[in-house]
Each structure stands twice: as structure tokens, then as C-alpha cells.
A and B are shown apart, each in its own frame.
Chain A
Amino acid sequence: MLNQLLFVALPYVALAIFLVGSIYRYLYKGFKVSSLSSQFLEGRQLFFGSQPFHWGLFFLFFGHLIAFLFPSTVIAWNGQTVRLLILECASFAFGISALWGLFALITRRLTNKRVQIVTSKMDVVVYLVLLVQIISGLCVAYFNRWGSNWFAAFLTPYLRSIFVFDPQIDAISTVNSVWLKIHVVSAFSIIAIIPFTRFVHFLVYPVDYLWRSYQQVIWNWDRRSIRTSRAHQVGEKSKNN
């Protein structure tokens, strides 16, 4: 019953909240979508927190994504022990980096008066779930070796079954690791709170900057096409409104 609740109900509720909430916030509360940078108030401590935290997460995110999408590739890579060790050590290092960064960020929030002024209740929630998430992940890596091998057997089928709307929880519920269960549950909790926290900022990562031209000019009224157009209403909604 509990397993049903945690591994079937929670994921679907989380995903539903995430989708509806994020789209709503993006479309109707655009002003509130921001990384809420606090660098302006404090820059040095932020460097030692934000950099290791984000770069650690950055690589871990892609690691998880690859393991989820191409588990066989990961297993093939792990065929040689050296390679397995490299992969596991690297992932662990990124995890440590993220944890170190998170500690630095939390210390900064606690000690710097100016930053405290811009810390909201939801920020506290964010730090708590991130602590649980990262620590449980590191524990899984340490106590249940080697994750990159058994991931494909226990987790990938479960996650896939969720996404194809045919939840199979046998593998995950029989796993004998509390840390792994905490890690999965807290992951879905994070997904659920994305629309209500500063987490929204990574949904708007500016990839399109890479192909956009540097300068942007927007006309409020395209008189040139007005003259040549026969349509009564030529207006294309301008991007900035």
C-alpha cells in the first residue's frame, strides 16, 4: 500500500503538478520566473557555493539522463573495471561538489544579513529537499555499489513504466535499500515543488541564446508590411507584450 502511494501515486501527482503549475506560472506569472540572483548583495561566498553546486548538478543531471535513456551503453562502458571505477568516482566527486556547494550556499544564507533579507520560506524548503536529495544519492553510491550497473536492472524499467503509464513497482519495492527509496521519493517531491519555488529557473535555461543573433530590434508597427499587405489585420502579436 505504502509502496503504491510512494512509487505510483506520488510520481503521477508530482508530474501533474509540475506540468500544470510550470506552464501556468510561465504563461500567467512571467514576472515571477527568475533565478532571483542574490549576487548583487553578496558575491564572494556565492562563488564558492554556486559554482561547485551548479557544476556538480549539471554533470549529475546529464549522467542520470544518459543512464535513463541508454542504460545498455552505460553497462557496456562498465565492462572494464577501470572504466567502471572512473565513472563511479567521477559521479561521486560531482555529488560531493554539489553537496559542498550546497553547504556553502546554506552557510551564506545563514550568516549574511543582506542575503537573509531576500530569503523566502520556500527557499528553506528548497535547501531541505536538496540536502535530502544529494545526501541520499551519495549514500546510495557509497552503500549500494555499483549503482551504474544495477541502475539498469532496478530503476530504468520502473521509471520507464511510469512514463508509459503502466507502472511496474516490483523491482523498486523489493530493493533492499532505504537510501534508494528516499532518493526516488525526494526526487519526485522536488519535481512537484518546482512551480512553487526558485527551481523554475532551470526550466528557462536560455539555450536559444546560442543561435539567436546578438542584437534584437522590435518594431511596434511594421509599416512596410502594412503597405504591401491586403489583409485588414496584419498584426502579428509582438514578442514583448
Chain B
Amino acid sequence: MNIRSQIAMVFHLDKCIGCHTCSIACKNIWTDRKGAEYMWWNNVETKPGTGYPTKWEDQETYKGGWEKNGDTVSLKGTGKFKGLKNIFHNPYMPVLDDYYEPWTYKYQDLFTAPEGDDQPIARPVSLVTGEPIEIKSGPNWDDDLGGSPDFARKDVNMEKLTPEQEAMFQLERMTFHYLPRICNHCLNPACVASCPSGALYKRGEDGVVLINQERCRAWRMCVTACPYKKSYYNWHTGKSEKCVLCYPRLESGQAPACFHSCVGRIRYLGVLLYDADKIEAVASCKEEELVDRHIDIYVDPFDPAVIEAATANGIAMSTIEAAQKSPVYKFVKLWKLALPLHPEYRTLPNLFYVPALLPGMASVQDGIYNSTTKSLWGGIDTTRLPMKYLASLFSAGNTEKVADVLKKLMAVRMHRRGVTVGDLKADEISQAMKETNLSGNTADEIFRLTSLATFDDRFVIPPAHREESIEMLENTADVKGNTGFGFKETPARGL
């Protein structure tokens, strides 16, 4: 057993209101710079939809992630041979137009326009070339199903479900949910493996995946390799950049900006301990087993054997305690309510999603708008988004996995309705609870962490002990009385 600690995350999709506050919080801190205007380390997509960059899930085009290769995995579009062969021109790299051309407006024109009969306007100008442009797309152009024929219908996850797909696009059945995405800080990161110059690395102490800006040489392989397209190329500095999980905030005990600002309080963050010896075996297992074995790689932080192995690996007791209180551990391991996004990419992502339990259906019959189900919420197999669609997102096509989660969420709802309103039949509730193996106490706990959780329940951040790690760089006795790290280079573009 080789125990390591990882900062992992859960997003509860039922609670996301699609306000994009998270994206803005991130943008204002990290990517409001030349060359990075188009980057959204955190973005919120509408599903069904094509996402950002357009059709990022289409790995036949972008060749991201790993593929199973016997007992191991190999990178789909990059790697030692393919990467070095394609280093002069990367055939699978998304270009600016696959994201969108960033723009601003000539606000000054509003003030300086000469007096006339018409209102002055602020024309949009490209942030790349500075020329006037016609805006053709943006980072969430298809928000709330806008332009569905062009976007929602081209969702990669729908390719396999033609009949249901047609049903989905009937007006009465139309539905969507939001999908906020950040870097998953994967256990088997394809971006790290693809980098020829070794600029990308995973931090041992908390598993955050970073790009060393001094070693990045713009070979731009990580952009291709990340199947989630969460590594971005800065066209101005000639260096790639990605989500840093706000590590300076984490190190001082604060939640990352997107978590901190989340209006729907959908985000949870905490430590998971995992067995690093199993990474290769899990990443290369059969597709049907992927979800189970991925969740199995995380170990029980209360198990004395695990605690012993973790301490032997140098994991601080404070981190182990954080792992025991981790809300992520509860959602992912204890309650099995959260699933990884596209596990079939085999990067073993550390961001898990509680799928949305979509609202009951209604349709217009004889001019009357009415619920189509007899009971209040209806069965989960009649959810408006086909189960196959959700399975394609969260369980590599295994509908049972998604159904299990939705059933549990439904059981919790029924239980709570029984407690607060009491208009449901008792045996109906106990039937649902029994089917999902939930006790009343667990259901209450799930309810509490879902709906009433405070800041400290949602974010359990282990102390980073940076005060010790400074000793690796400097002899603290020598630099007593000084401040700072003493190495800093302005990030200016090379010649």
C-alpha cells in the first residue's frame, strides 16, 4: 500500500443554478490577462450541448486521454512516439476558433461619437488582433439550450441514442442541466504524461496538477492530451496554463475562488486518501468496471492499517484527520452518490458529480398543462434526460450506476417529504429506502450535507504545512529576517 493524499471535489448538479459566478471569480483572479482572455479554467456548460471548446468530448477529433492497451494504458494522441513525431505541428490541437475569439467593446466611442440622429454604439473588437469583429461564439454560447439545433443536437453523448434523442427534443420534454467544469486534478493525468519537457507535475502532498511556467516550451501536447480540454495555450506568452486549484488559497486554508463564491453552494472539497500502487491497474481495467474500481482506489481514512501506511509515507496527522471529516469521502465512498465525469478517458479524475435528479414531467394535453406522472415526482426511469445520456456522461455508459444514484436521491427526497409534509404513503417511503439500503439517519445526513451544510462542512481543507517546506529551498536560519522566496521573473514573452 502506497498511500497518498489528494484534494478531491464534489459538484452537486441538482443545486447548480447556472449563474456563472464561479467562472467570473476565477477569471478575475487568474485569467484576466493578455493571451489568457479566452481561457475559462472554470466554465459552466449547458447539457445537452456542445460545451467549451466546441465538442470537447469528441475524442475522435481531439484524441485526448488514454486508451486501454492490454494490461496498461497508452495516450491516445500524444506520448513519446506520437508526441515527438508531431512536435512541429500538432494535428489534434484545438485552435482559437474552436474556443471563441475573445473580444471587448470600444466603450470610448460612446463618449466621443459626434452628435447625431442615432444612438452611438460600442462596436466589438477582437482582443487578439484589436480589429472590429462580428461576434460568432462565446464560452457559453448555447447557455440554457440557446440555439439547440446547432448545439444541443450535436452533443457528443447523444450519438448513440437516436430514438430517445428525438423524443428529448419535443418541446414538452425539453430539459437541461448545468455542468460546471474545472480541471479534475486527475490521479492518472494525461496532461502530465504528454509533456515532452516535463513541465507538468502532480504535487505529492495534495495532488494538485501544475505547469512549471519556466520549463514549458510550448510543445503544446498537454492541450491535446487532456480529454477535458482543461489545459490551455497562452498565445501571448507562449506557455500553457491550467487551473491551479487556487493553491495559494488552499495553502492558507481558504477554499478555491470558484468554490468560495458558488452561489448554489453546490461545491464540496476535501481530502481523499488513495493507494497509488493501484493507479495503473485501475486505469487499464475493463470499461464496465471503471467506476467501481476507480472509487475503490480511495481508501478508508479510519482504517488503522491505512493510517499506519499513510504516516509511514509522511502524510501529516492533520491531513488524515481532514480526510476523516472530508465531505467528498461521504459523497463518493460512503453514500456512493457522486460519479466521475467521463471515466472512460481513464485519467481517474478527482472531481465527482452528483447527477441532477431532473424535475417531474409535464405536458399539454387537451389544452391543459399537467403532470404526466401519477405521483409527485414520478419514477426515475421516466426522467426527461434519458438514462443512457446520463450514463454516457457519468459512468462510461453503465445505466445501472446512474440509476442507483438517482434512486438514492429520490429515496432521500421521499423520506424528507415524509418528515416535513407527511403526504406520502409510509410503505411507499420505506419501500424506496429499503431498495436503496438507506437508513433514516443516513438519509437525514445526506439531506443535511446537501441542503444545510455550512462553509466548514463543505470545505475541509488540510493544513499545507508550507512553513516546513520552505526549508527545502532555503536554510531558514540563513534567511532569518528576510521576506519572500527571492526568485521571480516577469512573465514576458520571449523573442
Instruction: List residues of A whose CB falls within 8 A of some B CB.
Output: 28-43, 46-47, 50-51, 53-55, 113-114, 116-118, 120, 122, 196-198, 200-201, 204, 206, 208-210, 212, 214-224, 226-227, 233, 235-238, 240-241
Contact = CB atoms under 8 A, between A and B. Distances in A.
Which secondary structure dominates chain B's binding surface? Answer: loop
B373 interface: no
Nearest to A58: B88
A196 to B, nearest CB: 6
A220 B205 contact: yes
A206 B205 CA distance: 27
A216 to B, nearest CB: 4
A198 B188 CA distance: 33
A220 B469 contact: yes
B494 A32 contact: yes
A43 B202 contact: no
Given A198-B495, A220-B472, A224-B312, 11 more contacts: A32-B492, A40-B93, A116-B129, A118-B235, A122-B495, A214-B75, A217-B204, A220-B469, A235-B475, A237-B473, A240-B215
Nearest to A218: B201
B203 A220 contact: yes
Contacts of B316: 223
Contacts of B192: 214-216
A39 B89 contact: yes
B129 A114 contact: yes
B291 interface: no
A223 B314 contact: yes
A180 B391 CA distance: 67
B62 to A, nearest CB: 13
A221 B217 contact: no
A42 B89 CA distance: 11
A197 B494 CA distance: 8
Interface string B219-262: 11000000000000101111100000000000000000000000
Nearest to B129: A113
A209 B196 contact: yes
A212 B195 CA distance: 11
Interface of B: 75, 79-80, 83-84, 88-91, 93, 95-96, 128-131, 188-189, 192-193, 195-198, 200-205, 210, 212-220, 233, 235-239, 279, 312-316, 465-466, 468-469, 471-473, 475, 485, 487, 489-495
A40 B95 contact: yes
A190 to B, nearest CB: 14
Contacts of B75: 214
B309 to A, nearest CB: 12
Contact of A240 (B201, B217, B312): B201
Contacts of B203: 217-220
Contacts of B129: 113-114, 116-117
Contact of A235 (B96, B210, B473): B473
Nearest to B220: A37
B312 A114 contact: no
A240 B196 CA distance: 15
A35 B233 CA distance: 12
Contacts of A34: 216-218, 237-239, 494
Q: Which of A113, A208, A217 has the most chain B CB within a 10 Å cutoff?
A: A217
B196 A217 contact: no
A141 B485 CA distance: 55
